[in-house]
Amino acid sequence: MSLLIIGSVAFDAIETPFGKTGKIVGGSASYISLASALLYPEVGLTAVVGEDFDFEFLKRLQAQGVDTSGVQVKQGEKSFFWSGKYHLDMNSRDTLTTELNVLGTFDPIIPENWNSPDYVMLGNLSPQVQMTTLDRLQKRPKLIVMDTMNFWMSVALDELKMVLNRVDLLTINDEEARELSGELSLVKAARKIMAMGPKYLVIKKGEHGALLFGPENQIYFCPALPLEEVFDPTGAGDTFAGGFLGYLASTGEVSFQAMKKALVYGSCAASFCIEKFGTQRLEEITRSDIEGRMTRFEQLIAL
Amino acid sequence: MSLLIIGSVAFDAIETPFGKTGKIVGGSASYISLASALLYPEVGLTAVVGEDFDFEFLKRLQAQGVDTSGVQVKQGEKSFFWSGKYHLDMNSRDTLTTELNVLGTFDPIIPENWNSPDYVMLGNLSPQVQMTTLDRLQKRPKLIVMDTMNFWMSVALDELKMVLNRVDLLTINDEEARELSGELSLVKAARKIMAMGPKYLVIKKGEHGALLFGPENQIYFCPALPLEEVFDPTGAGDTFAGGFLGYLASTGEVSFQAMKKALVYGSCAASFCIEKFGTQRLEEITRSDIEGRMTRFEQLIAL
């Protein structure tokens, strides 16, 4: 059993109403792999960084149990860099800078011992890179999960739909689900998106929780824990996906029933992520912290 | 055991992306009393209408089990009238017209057999009228629930706070909770609002569900059913409150535990309200329709 994650490992600079960072480690796959490794021991990461990267972070990932042998280091090049500033309500943000750098020519290398994984997470990357990743696997995984964002709907919709047709589960936020489907109702949007390929769909609604849609019109709603403070929402969606997949992989299952509980694990993992800047909080906690929030979660929804 | 409701019984004219009505019956207390009467047999209504009102509606309320002997009819005057137009996303609307008419001088008359109710719902009205209602009760009810809106925070904040200090439970939406408390975090907002008086607080988040806060930091989250289509959201919050109180009154309890299930009943009742214009759908359904949605609800959240 194994879980392969591909996505960005990068630098971010973040400004929120609570403060401002310099360049810190970010990227979809950083969050996904940290969160999944809290719940599952066999996590492999495929990504690309420049020679400017914070290599201590890769060591810390390894210490958490993430195999980073698939992370390429491009000499003479710079890591992907994003900077953004959150609005006062923390629900929206402006992108200040996007420097693709090494991501612009990313050609994923999947180490031999990782090319037959049971679970695959295609983090937010160009659909072309996501497709190449699938092409380089030696067998069909039990479950392929894909994340994406509205940017790719604008510039690479056809490629995005081709990947979508090859995956089992798509995670996107509510706004993106509406954009991809052209439907305002999330129930209708889900039906249209699932007709594009994936048997399962997770629509993320941030502080409003998440919806899981599955075969035979099954729907499950997973709330978010009500929190005193949201310090930095960056990476919350990726942490959610990582917690989801880490727990699911630990069960060995891919059923709707197992996915429901996996979503709750994802939600609890995400509730830690937003407590500090970047990946900091995820690097401090252990599985037992997540289990503690599972108890709070059960109280929140117990009828 | 009895449930007294006070609020507006009025005319609305509504425009949504799906269509447009002429003058139809609306008003907070119309929705609240219809929804609560679906779940509880002893509902009394106190309100005021003009001579132009649709008196067939009062007859239909009576047929549903609502005692309308507290509804005053002002000869020579007109009923309260509101008209509004919803935006494409149905989550926001513009008010086109507000004519106070009879509501401007509303002096509530509580029939003698209704002045010692066990449960009281103060629907959205001026805090002054809400206060007068409480003053005219002969004994302290087991539970006083109050609804309000941001308009009263702007024009009558002191009076609103005086009423708030006398009630057990406040229902408001998330935006209003933030405005009343000056806090962005709903958890912090809840703490501040409960320090103003009410032991319980329900924060309504529309399609995103509702949060119930109670003593000893108890929190319960009640989702909204994911719906194919929202035809007309007018009255959904009042229907939610009516379903909540109707069910709660039927249990005879006022505990946090009983309120949790009552919220789910409110949520299911509201899911019908939005399917047609105005009160139409609420007048068509029975308790067994609501019970049917309770089953869907249980499936939605079952882990």
pLDDT computed for residue A88 by the predictor: 83
Instruction: Give B86→chain A minimum CA distance, Å.
Output: 14
Q: What is the mean pLDDT of residues A164-175?
A: 97
- For B111-162, write each residue's pLDDT tens digit: 999 999 999 999 999 999 999 999 999 999 999 999 999 999 999 999 999 9
Asked whether the beta carbons of residue A209 and residue B208 sit closer than 8 angstroms, the reply is yes
Mutate to test the interface with A, among B88, B174, B178, B185 (most CBs of A within 10 A): B185
From CA B62, how far away is CA A204, in angstroms rounded? Answer: 44
- Quick check: B288 pLDDT over 80? yes
Give me the sign of the Cα torsion angle A98, A234, B303, B224.
Answer: negative
Q: If pLDDT is split at 50, 70 and 90, which confidence band does A1 have?
A: confident
Q: What is the mean pLDDT of residues A252-265?
A: 97
pLDDT computed for residue B229 by the predictor: 87
One-letter amino acid at A193 equals I
- Quick check: B1 pLDDT over 90? no
pLDDT computed for residue B239 by the predictor: 98
Query: Which residues in B lie closer than 8 A to residue A88 (C-beta atoms)?
Result: 184
Asked whether the beta carbons of residue A208 and residue B208 sit closer than 8 angstroms, the reply is yes
From CA A204, how far away is CA A173, in angstroms rounded? Answer: 4
Mutate to test the interface with B, among A90, A260, A301 (most CBs of B within 10 A): A301
Q: What is the mean pLDDT of residues A53-66?
A: 98
Choose the closest CB to A184 out of B89, B185, B300: B89
* Closest chain B residue to the Cα of A187, Cα to Cα: B228
- For A181-204, write each residue's pLDDT tens digit: 999 999 999 999 999 999 999 999
Q: If pLDDT is split at 50, 70 and 90, which confidence band does B88 have?
A: confident
Q: Where are the beta strands (DSSP E) in chain A?
A: 3-6, 10-16, 19-20, 24-26, 43-50, 66-74, 81-86, 93-99, 119-122, 143-147, 169-173, 200-204, 210-214, 218-222
* Closest chain A residue to the Cα of B258, Cα to Cα: A303
Query: Which residues in B lie closer than 8 A to residue A261 (C-beta atoms)?
Result: 303
- For B198-253, write each residue's pLDDT tens digit: 999 999 999 999 999 999 999 999 999 999 988 999 999 999 999 999 999 999 99
- For B9-19, write each residue's pLDDT tens digit: 999 999 998 89
- Quick check: B89 pLDDT over 90? no
- Quick check: B91 pLDDT over 90? no
ipTM value of the model?
Answer: 0.90
* Closest chain B residue to the Cα of A224, Cα to Cα: B221
- For A28-56, write each residue's pLDDT tens digit: 999 999 999 999 999 999 999 999 999 99
* Closest chain B residue to the Cα of A219, Cα to Cα: B300
Q: Is A227 on the interface with B (CB under 8 A)?
A: yes
Q: If pLDDT is split at 50, 70 and 90, which confidence band does B52 have?
A: very high
Q: What is the mean pLDDT of residues A118-137?
A: 98
Q: What is the mean pLDDT of residues B84-109?
A: 93
- Contact partners, residue A16, CB within 8 Å, separation at least 6: A85, A86, A90, A231, A232, A277
Instruction: Give A97→chain B minimum CA distance, Å.
Output: 27
Q: Is B194 on the interface with A (CB under 8 A)?
A: no
Which residues pair with residue A20 across a beta bridge? A15
pLDDT computed for residue A92 by the predictor: 86
Q: Where are the beta strands (DSSP E) in B131-265?
A: 143-147, 169-173, 200-204, 210-214, 218-222
- Quick check: A229 pLDDT over 90? no
Residue-averaged pLDDT of chain B? 96
Does the predicted model carry a pTM greater than 0.90?
A: yes
Query: Which residues in B lie closer than 8 A to residue A186 (C-beta atoms)?
Result: 226
pLDDT computed for residue B284 by the predictor: 97
Choose the closest CB to A205 out of B208, B211, B299: B208
* Closest chain A residue to the Cα of B188, Cα to Cα: A228
* Closest chain B residue to the Cα of A226, Cα to Cα: B187
Percent of chain B whose pLDDT exceeds 70:
100
- For B57-82, write each residue's pLDDT tens digit: 999 999 999 999 999 999 999 999 99
Instruction: Give B158→chain A minimum CA distance, Å.
Output: 27
Choose the closest CB to A261 out of B261, B301, B303: B303
Backbone angles phi, psi at B235, to 5 degrees: 85, 0
Q: Is A41 on the interface with B (CB under 8 A)?
A: no
HSE-CB at B47 with a 13 A cutoff on CA atoms is: 29
Q: If pLDDT is split at 50, 70 and 90, which confidence band does B90 have?
A: confident
pLDDT computed for residue B41 by the predictor: 97
- Quick check: A261 pLDDT over 80? yes
HSE-CB at B112 with a 13 A cutoff on CA atoms is: 0
CB neighbours of residue B295 within 10 Å? 10
Choose the closest CB to B300 out of A188, A208, A220: A220
CB neighbours of residue B245 within 10 Å? 29
Q: What is the mean pLDDT of residues A162-166?
A: 98
pLDDT computed for residue A256 by the predictor: 98
